[in-house]
Chains A and B, each alone.
Chain A
Amino acid sequence: MISILTRRTISLVVTLLIVSLLIFTVMDLLPGDPAAIMLGTSASPDTLAALQHSLGLDRPLPIRYLAWLAGVAQGDLGQSYTYGVPVAGLIAERLTVTLPLALMAVVLSVAVAVPLGVQAARRHNGPFDAVAGVFSYISIAVPAFWVGLLLIIAFSTMLGWLPAGGFPGWDAGLWQGLKALLLPAIALALPQAGVLTRIARAAVLDVMNEDFVRTARAKGLSEEAAVWRHAVPNALIPVVTMLGLQFTFLIAGAVLVENVFNLPGLGRLAFQALSQRDVIVMQDVVLFFSALVIVMNFLVDLAYLAIDPRLRAGAQ
């Protein structure tokens, strides 16, 4: 077990390093000199050269990559060209929007998908199962950002219950913050809920025919109790796995939904950095998101190893 863990960890670190090198190289190939952008067109060549030197832009690529990497390892992600503040602080600040948004979306999608999937499996091939099937087909097909627009039309423009966008900040109070994130979280959760409903249904169907569930029923446990005490916990494993694997799509959805609702999150930061040519911010945000995905997949892998002894044997 320890040796698999070491191997997986080494492979995690190597993957992270290669991704960081790729992102750095691609961003470095960008046309346009950050120093020239910061100073504007009227700067003298001397000032430009001085700024390039102080930003370290005149050093060769490998040196700059290593310097950047050493900084990242120490939590120093560099300075934003447009905001003039450390990128680490910028990311931390924007995370206070994106993280609660993603969490709310995950909680919402699980809260809808698990009961729906379990009931669909219990009434296998009945009308409820059909309705759940239609729900998951449709919710997988609708773009999250469109759902966002529809929610704005319904709950902001027509009913006026919730804000159409923007974020007041957590200083305005917990309720105000949650209210601003509710519609975006629903939009983000819907496609996830469709995928998870399918997985939960299939998993419960699988488990319900297992011996231990039959034994539980034979012991005199009611159908209800047998399902929730024995079938559902086992069926949750694939659901959690899927959540990990869907993480990339959650991030992609967040980038779009944040732009629909004008939320000052990480996705919006990346998009703004693109239009302002703030290379270092883009680089760091993309690296941050990619690292999250890689670590998430790593955790899913580990969870598998912990759950399934056969995989541990196979990996030896």
Chain B
Amino acid sequence: MRASIKRAGRRPLFLIGLVITLLLVGVAVLSLVWTPFPPAKMNIIHKLKPPLSFGLLGTDHFGRDVASLLMAGAWNSLSTSFLAVALGASVGTLAGVVTAMRRGWLELVVMRGCDIIFAVPPILSAMMLAAFIGGGRFTAIIAIGVFMVPVFARLTVSAALQVWTRDYVTAAIGIGQSKLRITWNHVLPNISSQIIVQVTIQLGLAILTEAGLSFLGLGLAPPAPSWGRMLAEAQTFLGQAPWLALLPGLAIALAVLGLNMLGDGLRDILDPRDQG
């Protein structure tokens, strides 16, 4: 553990990623208690003001404060993505460890199932779901989360199968421990770092996908602010107010960049074998 912390200090990638991610989470949480203006408050007289002329980052076509919208958008985007990844990671990991424990026909079924789910891009499954239950946060979470199940299931199966071949597992089988107990005591702790790394990287992907869904109007319903919908609305005013299209995109890119760097940094730190 101490060695890991020491290694972390020497990894600029990890540190930059951590700082960006913490900053983002901080802004998102802060938006729950404070934003410069109420994000949904319209002020038509001051519409389409450029940054610094009205509020820090200007106003949109309804005269809403862009900085406040971005802050509230951070919470919505992060929380939706987090729930989606939590869904995918928990179902996928459960399916993965059970598959590695039982193998046989279950492995065949789970792996085929993964292929099948993976074949429908989340944008399309979200469209199918949206046609069914309408757009919204729930649709986005299910569409993104379901798509992530195979990612975690495949990762867990291959990682867990490796653990099952280790000597200490053979020893545990030898002294008569049940498969369930071995999974809990040996398999899960040994694959947890790989899962944590994957969660971080998939969070970035989830933010990108959520932004895409909101851009198409399939994400969070208005008036709740979302980065993707801010971009969709900005498209009408590209000539008049190009900065409106700049800021939400920057926010998305920064969030994904931070999470990806954090994930790669974590991988370096938690898995010393990979260090080159």
Contact = CB atoms under 8 A, between A and B. Distances in A.
Interface of A: 11, 14-15, 18-19, 22-23, 26-27, 29-31, 137-138, 140-143, 145-146, 149-150, 152-153, 157, 164, 248-249, 251-252, 255-256, 259-260, 270-271, 274, 277, 279, 282, 285-286, 289-291, 293-294, 297
23 contacts: A19-B120, A22-B116, A29-B132, A137-B257, A137-B260, A137-B261, A141-B256, A141-B257, A141-B260, A143-B211, A146-B231, A149-B238, A248-B118, A251-B121, A259-B216, A270-B127, A274-B131, A282-B128, A289-B120, A293-B118, A293-B119, A294-B119, A297-B118
Contact of B127 (A15, A138, A282): A282
Contacts of A15: 112, 115-116, 119
Nearest to B122: A252
A29 B131 CA distance: 10
B107 to A, nearest CB: 13
A142 B119 CA distance: 23
Q: Which of B211, B212, B260 has the most CB of A within 10 A?
A: B212
A11 B116 CA distance: 11
Contact of A255 (B112, B124, B245, B249): B124
A172 B216 CA distance: 29
Q: How large is the interface on B (under 10, 10 to 19, 20 to 34, 35 or more residues)?
A: 35 or more
A249 B121 contact: yes
Contact of A271 (B127, B234, B261): B127
Interface string B250-266: 00111011001100000
A23 B246 CA distance: 37
B235 interface: yes
B68 to A, nearest CB: 21
B93 interface: no
Contacts of A248: 118-119, 121
Contacts of A138: 253, 257
A163 B211 CA distance: 25
Contacts of A157: 238-239, 242
B112 A290 contact: no
A87 to B, nearest CB: 16
B209 interface: yes
Given A256-B212, A290-B119, A143 B252 contact: yes
Nearest to B111: A11
B219 interface: no
A282 B245 CA distance: 30
B133 to A, nearest CB: 9
Contact of A140 (B115, B216, B246, B260): B260
B121 A289 contact: yes
Given A251-B123, A286-B127, 18 more contacts: A26-B128, A29-B132, A31-B132, A140-B256, A141-B204, A141-B256, A145-B215, A146-B231, A251-B121, A259-B216, A260-B235, A271-B127, A271-B216, A282-B131, A290-B119, A293-B119, A294-B119, A297-B119
A184 B196 CA distance: 35
Contacts of B234: 149
Given A11-B112, A26-B132, A293 B121 contact: yes
B172 interface: no
A18 B245 contact: no
Nearest to B213: A256
Given A15-B115, A271-B216, A23 B128 contact: yes
B15 to A, nearest CB: 15
Nearest to B254: A141
Contact of A286 (B120, B238, B248): B120
Contacts of A142: 249, 252-253, 256
Nearest to B235: A149
B208 interface: yes
B124 A270 contact: yes
A150 B245 contact: yes
Contacts of B124: 251-252, 255, 270, 285-286, 289-290
